[in-house]
Chain A
């Protein structure tokens, strides 16, 4: 699978203050990339550099296999974006705002405007001036604008800001459908773990300008799921009993005398009884594990607003 976006040691400094440090981001085609970090971690600065709004102090950005410095215009034709806040010309209606976008993107097809407005549920309000829109409506219009030119990559900075819970659910579903049906790649930045958890297929965790981890969501889930920590006198014998007598295959020996068991989470008594009845000494059984939040906290050294 090809890479849509790669950064190589991307850095941004303001005087002595480093905002983004040697960031190496790898986003594959079709990914819904959750870019997770606290407020001020460097998410928006990174996204701004990707869009050419801020010039990096060092490093490179490669979009669609081409360096951003050499082929910015070509890359921007294939990207849709909302950065921080969807800004609009308030004196214009939704359709007129999209018309401005259509012109600046050099697009011919006018009909697409109504199609995207219908997609985000704004068709009935299309002739209303944007100054009368709520923040949620502006956010939807921002998404419509980002989709108008059939982008291959959508860069969305906190896209559910201002949306009510049902709106968040609808937009989330829209993103999933777009990823599935049109193969659009997403970068969605958020400081909300729940947001990333429900959408992302890949997660990048940024903290104080450093990309701490970039990981597939499935792997992350494996790392953060709950397990029974069984402390025994003989881990090999315990593994044999678990496999033969309880039919367990989802376990791992985490250390000498420590078995992590990912099944039977609600039946620790049965595990205990089975092990003891087959001659394995059980010292302790604990329900343990990391939630995504614990995992995030551990990575960021205990600081969290996420």
Chain B
């Protein structure tokens, strides 16, 4: 299995994936730097740099960009095999189609992790500078890291749907359309800031980010929609995965497909 994952990673060498990852990470970094803008507290003194605020902004923008960027990454990894007509060769290896699917999903997850880590770059730099001055709130850093770990896991929940669309469409376009559509819904949902919005599977990663805003915004305790949202996301994940497994392992590979 490691060989299959390594081969999948090798396929991405010199590809456009790195630009997609950067595109996903860059806006979060730029917005995070907004925390450096001069601010004053209600008593008129200058406010210090707020790590919590930085993680919140980073998370918000990562979740806005995520559906489109992660869908495109998934589409590239799956649909290129059909578009570049490498699928004939890929399915002729002594490796089961399910293993190939799992390796591809693992590589998508790695790209999500990489995008998330890169989107935290400016927060990490600030944290490092604060560490030098012994002014770090370790609890807040831990909370920020946990939030990002959750973003990775929850964002991965909708990936099997994007994978299924890519393999059925055999083209990047249908998945790109899905990505753009879900991004629009996500942006509208985030602007609304409603607690129930996280029940839209592509917005579930907003749950830990919104919780991070406790103390910044006027939030009122844990989100009561977390459990139904996680249930919907789990069903989305399992249904997408199951469909992908059945389709990938059963479908005939024809000329030009």
Contacts and interface: CB of A to CB of B under 8 A. Distances in A.
Q: Do A and B interact? A: yes
Interface of A: 44, 48, 51-55, 72-77, 79, 81, 83-92, 96, 99-101, 103-106, 129, 145
A76 B253 contact: no
B88 interface: yes
B87 A81 contact: no
Contacts of A105: 93-94
Interface string B74-87: 00000010001111
Contacts of A53: 88, 91-92, 252-253
Interface in B124-162: none
B4 interface: yes
Contacts of B89: 81, 83, 86-87, 101, 145
B11 to A, nearest CB: 5
B94 A77 contact: yes
B94 A89 contact: no
A62 to B, nearest CB: 17
A91 B16 CA distance: 9
Find the residue from B3, B10, B11, B15 having the highest chain A CB count within 10 A.
B10
Contact of A92 (B10, B91, B255): B10
Interface string B1-45: 001101100110111000000000000000000000000000000
A76 B91 CA distance: 10
Contacts of A54: 252-254
A74 B94 contact: yes
Contacts of A91: 13-15
Interface size class of chain B, counting residues whose CB lies under 8 Å from the partner chain: 20 to 34
B219 interface: no
Contacts of B93: 76, 104-105
5 contacts: A48-B253, A55-B250, A85-B88, A96-B10, A100-B10
B96 interface: yes
B95 interface: yes
Contacts of B253: 48, 53-54
Nearest to A74: B94
B92 A89 contact: no
Contact of B94 (A76, A85, A99): A76
Given A103-B6, A106-B3, A51 B14 contact: no
Which 4 interchain pairs have the tightest Cβ spacing?
A87-B85, A87-B86, A73-B94, A76-B94
Contacts of B90: 104
A73 B13 CA distance: 27
